[in-house]
């Protein structure tokens, strides 16, 4: 299946439209945490399910699936039972992204016999265009630009936060200097300030960087693995 | 309406009622102390409808008439089952109705007759 290039702007616009349509339906504004399950069921009119995809497909790294013909979005059952709200909601928002951005492609591929009417999402495929586009959609859906900017502004003011150092010079609970190893604290503060309780700190930090609110000038990448111990 | 009742699965009925009640799938699962995976399986008719007790819990959470869900699940209200068990004549009557192949119009007629004859006790009689 050939996936056309989509700009970040067009993906963000698609996510904003989904939220706007849902707001029209429910007749009030959506505030973070963005209710992704309600958006899927009531906004997009799709079925939501939690299936044992890993067992069913015999794949250990599958997180979710979008069944285009059935209008069904599924997350792996383990995500619903793990109490990891951020991971589950991101997966659901990601699948909603496939529905919004890619369902016509899937239908077309099925018609020409070049694909199946289902998209399975695996960790190993994260860098493929189809998956990247849905990840970006999920990020925009769960963390709308204006809401993130407002929360960030309440914590750090209007300018971008530039990380010049790798390690913090301070170790106490009071001192806080922005550097690479304190990124979970930065993301955590913005999350709390904006009420983004259904996104992970990692997802928030990626969004902050994408919006130009945090810039890492150290050439040392932020370590997501460390986030588990620091978050 | 009757045709709809006969063709609509329990899973679809539950899902429609849950969405109408604006209760999320995970929220329902939490409130009735079941796993989201189980509720998902029920809604997609991958497993049979839950037991009567669970259906009554769901009806209470969604604030819908228990009859609606019990009918969709082809299950009997536990209060009715226990009434029939306590009143052997009621069981005999139902047996007769089954043998005579009573249809919906027969039950409608019987209901009207019972009301006209003022059979049974009213709340007033109990006071």
Print the SS3 string covering chain A: CCCCCCCHHHHHHHHHHHHHHHHHHHCCCCCCCCCHHHHHHHHCCCEEEEECHHHHHCCCCEEEEEECCCCEEEEEHHHHHCCCHHHHHHHHHHHHHHHHHHHHHHHHHHHCCCCCCEEEEEHHHCCCHHHHHHHHHHHHHHCCHHHHHHHHHHHHCCCCEEECCCCCCCCCCCCCCCCHHHHHHHHHHHHHHHCCCCCCHHHHHHHHHHCCCEEECCCCCCCHHHHHHHC
Same domain, B22 and B45: yes
Same domain, B21 and B66: yes
| Residues of A whose CB is below 8 A from B24 | 35, 37-38, 41
Sheet with A47-51: strands ordered across: A47-51, A72-76, A62-67, A118-122
Average pLDDT rounded to a whole number, residues B37-58: 95
Same domain, B13 and B71: yes
Same domain, B101 and B70: no
Mutation pick from B40, B42, B43 vs chain A, by most beta carbons of A within 10 Å, is B40
CATH number, position B21: 1.10.260.40
pLDDT of chain A, 231 residues: tens digit per residue: 788 889 999 999 999 999 999 999 999 999 999 999 999 999 999 999 999 999 988 888 889 999 999 999 999 999 998 888 999 999 999 999 999 999 998 888 888 877 678 888 888 787 788 899 999 999 999 999 999 999 999 999 888 988 887 776 666 555 466 777 788 889 999 999 999 999 999 999 999 999 999 998 887 777 776 444 333
- Residue A138 sits at φ, ψ, to 5 deg, of -60, -45
- B24 in contact with A at a CB cutoff of 8 Å? yes
B85-113 tens-digit pLDDT: 888 888 888 888 889 899 989 989 998 99
Same domain, B66 and B95: no
Q: Do B37 and A50 touch (CB under 8 A)?
A: yes
Domain that holds residue B17: 2-76
Same domain, B72 and B92: no
- B15 in contact with A at a CB cutoff of 8 Å? yes
Same domain, B44 and B102: no
- B115 in contact with A at a CB cutoff of 8 Å? no
Tally of domains in chain B: 2
How many Cα atoms occupy the beta-carbon half-sphere of B110 within 13 Å? 9
Work out the minimum CA distance from A18 to partner chain B, whole angstroms: 18
Q: Is B95 within the bounds of a domain?
A: yes
Q: Is B123 within the bounds of a domain?
A: no
Same domain, B33 and B52: yes
Same domain, B92 and B71: no
Higher pLDDT, A21 or B3: A21
Q: Do B25 and A37 touch (CB under 8 A)?
A: yes
């Amino acid at each position: 299946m050939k996936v056309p290039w989509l700009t970040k702007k067009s993906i963000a616009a698609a996510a904003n439209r989904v939220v706007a349509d849902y707001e029209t339906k429910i007749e009030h504004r959506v505030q973070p945490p963005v209710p992704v399950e309600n958006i899927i069921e009531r906004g997009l009119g799709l079925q939501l399910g939690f299936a044992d995809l890993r067992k069913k497909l015999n794949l250990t790294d599958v997180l979710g699936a979008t069944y285009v013909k059935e209008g069904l979005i599924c997350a792996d059952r383990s995500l619903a039972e793990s109490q990891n709200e951020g991971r589950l909601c991101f997966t659901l928002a990601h699948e909603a992204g496939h529905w919004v951005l890619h369902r016509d492609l899937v239908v077309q591929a099925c018609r020409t016999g070049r694909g199946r009417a289902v998209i399975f999402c695996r960790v190993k495929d994260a860098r493929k265009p189809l998956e990247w586009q849905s990840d970006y959609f999920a990020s925009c859906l769960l963390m709308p630009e204006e809401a993130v900017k407002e929360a960030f502004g309440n914590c750090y003011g209007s300018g971008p936060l530039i990380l010049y150092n790798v390690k913090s010079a301070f170790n106490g609970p009071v001192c806080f200097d922005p550097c690479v190893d304190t990124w979970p604290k930065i993301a955590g503060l913005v999350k709390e300030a904006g009420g983004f309780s259904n996104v992970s700190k990692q997802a928030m930090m990626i969004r902050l960087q994408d919006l130009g609110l945090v810039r890492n000038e150290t050439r040392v990448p932020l370590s997501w693995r460390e986030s588990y111990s620091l978050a | 309406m009757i045709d709809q009742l006969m063709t609509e699965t329990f899973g679809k009925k539950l899902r429609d009622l849950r969405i109408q009640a604006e209760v999320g799938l995970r929220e329902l699962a939490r409130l009735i102390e079941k796993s989201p995976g189980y509720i998902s399986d029920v809604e997609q008719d991958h497993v049979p409808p839950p037991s009567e007790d669970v259906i009554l819990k769901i009806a209470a959470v969604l604030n819908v008439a228990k009859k609606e869900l019990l009918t969709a699940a082809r299950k009997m209200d536990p209060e009715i089952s226990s009434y029939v068990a306590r009143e052997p004549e009621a069981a005999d009557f139902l047996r007769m109705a089954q043998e005579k192949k009573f249809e919906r119009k027969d039950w409608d007629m019987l209901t009207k007759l019972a009301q006209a004859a003022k059979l049974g006790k009213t709340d007033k009689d109990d006071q």
